[in-house]
Structure 1
Amino acid sequence: MTADMISESLISTLPGHTYTDAAIFRAEQERIFEQMWFCAIRTADLAKAGAWKTVQIGRESVLISRTRKGEIRAFYNVCRHRGVKLCLEESGQAERSFQCPYHAWTYDFEGKLVAAPNLTKMPDIDRHEYGLAKVHLREYLGYVWVCLAETPPSFEEDVMGAIQERLGDLEAIEGYDVANLKVGRRIRYDVKANWKLIIENFMEC
């Protein structure tokens, strides 16, 4: 197709290699998904203390749970000892703590290190310092939002601002009663394609 045949109504796609290049994909994970606020789970999914869910954000697994005080916390789903995933499933209910399946390092629901083999013989180990690494978290509209960035962007500008831009008024979304919406049906597709292809096809609809 020559340049004079391209319609002004069509927006050209990105060069083909941007959909397959591994280095570009890593950069997208780091600079896009791991820097933005991500709507992770419904707050109601964590009904009681010890309830937890894991979500994949960029290259990282994040563990979201409810504490005994009823608060919600988010951590990297990684043991501080050897970097093994703490929770291997998508969701569950912990009775008293999170325990690493590798060397049994154990953390309470606040992320504090509470037990490990020979821990009493290592008085120099600060149990808070070696606790689970926290992830930035906000609760809004009945959902838990998380951000992996060391310094997250403004939630008010990026999330609430986007709502205001689309609806014209931030209060307008309250009419949807988002927190109490129910899932009518869920269909999961496993698509072997770069994420940009999915977004582009969705936008055409």
Structure 2
Amino acid sequence: MNVQTGTLQPGEARCPAETTQEIIARDKVAAPVWAASESYEYLGSEDVSKDRYVDPAFASAEMERMWTRTWQMACREDHIPEAGDYYVYDVGPYSFIVTRNENGAIHAYFNACLHRGTKLKPSGTSGYTMNLKCPFHGWTWNLDGSLKEIPERWDFAHAITRRTCLPEARVERLGGFVWINMDPDAPSLAEYLGPEIKAHMAAWRLEDRYIYLHVQKSYPANWKLTMEAFMEAYHVGDTHPQVAPANGDVNSQYDVYGEHVNRFISALGVVSPKLRNRYSEKDIIDNFTLGDSSSLGGTRPELKDGERARQVMADMFRTLFESATNSDLSAVSDTELLDTYSYTFFPNLFLFPGISLPMIYRFRPDARDHRRTIYEVMFMRPKPRDGSQVETAEMQILQDHQSFAEADGMDPGFGIILDQDTDNLHAQQEGLEASAKPGLTLGDYQEIRIRHFERAIDKYIAMPPKLPDWTALQRT
């Protein structure tokens, strides 16, 4: 604030209600350091150009300059637990076979035969294989990427002296995820994310969870528009009115970390500041336990005089989760049990590390249409404490006309929320293309994650193209 005039400087304005950190500070079980912190940075107030969402040339530049340089979550380690297990990860025109060899090492091979380019494994597949064999002419590679066999080898004496190992992307592991990068000169994953985020992930222990539900759906909107629909709580009042009576939406907290990670914290168990004079503490309990927005399956705690609904909900969640997981959660903070923590890992991953609904969102551009997005939702549970094996869920693919609520195992109330989030996308894509205005206007605080995300896009778009160099990606 300008001390002399008393006016707020750009980026200083906040919802006049209590802050997220003030809400969390009153909790009975205190928040950990990674939650009880803020990291906002004002990044300007200029409009964001609409061309990035509608121009196919911009999508091509992203593929040539950004996707080829960034760290992307390809799969979970649980997708490939044993030697020979593989998982195909596609992004735009690029495709990778992520597999584990006999020594336990994980590789991400470019999914193309070095003979005439046929895909070695179909897109969207996973499974087990003893080797990587081309279905066209039978050229075959070992799991370590070395050439195993060329049928009619006598006719390829000239090729044997050339590089014959499968080219591969860089691979790193963190939090139970397998991350890949096509750029051999890119910084390490730790440098890319920054030390603060690596410390956050260490606290979450996501490697101790597994995916029990995995749903994919395609949307008629650019991948960035689709991601940005989930980057702010500003939309809750109009898009999700059924949850506003128990959601601190416009006083949510927004943070940015370095160039590649940002987050918001949205407090639950409190009334939206916009509705504070209309709903009571009892109404908050009813919102959680009654109707389509309920996440508690009919369980309804009693609210005694003087009690805060948020604390009652936290205590009840703790009991429910302890019973479901056969674990002691007495040291887990109330905010981890209740609140929405949403982290964006550039370019296309969202992690929700909370206890109540840990999730993963992943977004990928459709290789055939820059106006379409492939959107995945993955839900996680703690792995059994006794070490017994669990099965990672296979992906369910929904058609355009289907609701998320139709997916087997999906909570109907949450499925409706996902539908509401994405129902706006087609109208937004068409509206941008019809608009006479050349850009989008963003809030300085509530939409800072969008600006931070688009600033990272601009950074990579400004670089020269960097297409994969297959010789540099081959081991000798």
Q: CA 1:70/1:127 → structure 2, altered by over 3 Å: closer, same or farther?
A: farther
Structure 1 residues 56-75: aligned runs within 5 Å: 56-75=90-109
Q: Deviations over 1:158-193 (max 9, x none)?
A: 12x0x61x5xxx444323211011224333221121
- State how far apart, in whole Å, the 2-side matches of 1:62 and 1:154 are: 19
Question: Does the 8 A contact of 1:51 with 1:65 survive in 2?
Answer: yes
Residue 175 of structure 2 aligns to which amino acid in structure 1?
A: L
Residues in 1 aligned to 2:177 and 2:71: alpha-carbon distance in whole angstroms:
12
How far apart in 2 are the matches of 1:42 and 1:103?
A: 31
Cα distance in 2, alignment partners of residues 172 and 131 from structure 1: 37
Q: Which has the higher contact order (CA 8 A, sep 6+)?
A: 2
Match of 1:79 among 72, 91, 113: 113
Map 1:15-94 to 2 at 5 A: 15-89=49-123, 90-94=125-129
Gaps of 5+ in 2: 1-10, 14-44, 234-476
- Corresponding residue of 1:4: none
Residue deviations 1:67-119, cap 9 Å, x none? 1112111110011111111001420110x211111111111101111112211
Conserved 8 A contact 1:62-1:74: yes
Say what the alpha-carbon RMSD is for the aligned residues: 2.5
Amino acid at match of 2:77: T
The answer on whether the counterparts of 2:82 and 2:104 sit within 8 Å (CA) in structure 1 is yes
Q: 1:146 corresponds to which letter in structure 2?
A: I
Q: 1: distance between equivalents of 2:77 and 2:133? A: 23
Contact 1:113–1:130 (CA under 8 A) maintained in structure 2: yes
Letter in 1 for 2:136: Y
* TM score, norm. by length of structure 2: 0.37
- Identity in percent: 27
Gaps of 5+ in 1: 1-7
Distance change in 2, residues 1:12/1:202 (3 Å): farther
Q: Which amino acid aligns with 1:73?
A: H
> For residues 66 and 185 of structure 2, what CA distance do their matches in structure 1 show?
14
In structure 2, relative to structure 1, the CA distance for the partners of 1:92 and 1:198 (3 Å cut) is same
Whether the aligned pair in 2 keeps the contact of 1:114 and 1:127 (CA below 8 Å) is: no
Are residue 156 (structure 1) and residue 190 (structure 2) matched? Answer: yes
Q: Are the aligned partners of 1:112 and 1:127 in contact in 2 as well (CA < 8 Å)?
A: no
Distance 1:172 1:198, change over 3 A: closer
Q: Which amino acid in the other structure matches residue 92 of structure 1?
A: G
Structure 2 contact 78–210 (Cα < 8 Å) conserved: no
Counterpart among 195, 198, 201 of residue 173 in structure 1: 201
Q: Residue type of the partner of 1:91? A: S
**Displacement after TM superposition at 1:121 (Å):** 4.9
Q: Which position in structure 2 is the counterpart of 1:134?
A: 168
Query: CA separation of 1:190/1:12 partners in 2, compared to 1, >3 Å: closer, same or farther?
Result: farther
Give the 3 Å change call, closer, same or farther, for CA 184–48 of structure 1 in structure 2.
closer
Match of 1:144 among 154, 178, 185: 178
Letter of the aligned partner of 2:56 in structure 1? A
Which residue of structure 2 aligns with residue 3 of structure 1?
none
Distance 2:190 2:132 in 1: 33
Measure the CA separation in 2 of the matches of 1:104 and 1:69: 25
Matched, 1:192 2:220: yes
Deviation at 1:32, TM superposition (A): 1.6
In the alignment, the residues of structure 2 paired with residue 70 and residue 150 of structure 1 have an alpha-carbon distance, to the nearest angstrom, of 22
- Distance in 1 between residues matched to 2:162 and 2:80, nearest whole Å: 24
The AA in structure 1 aligned to 2:149 is A
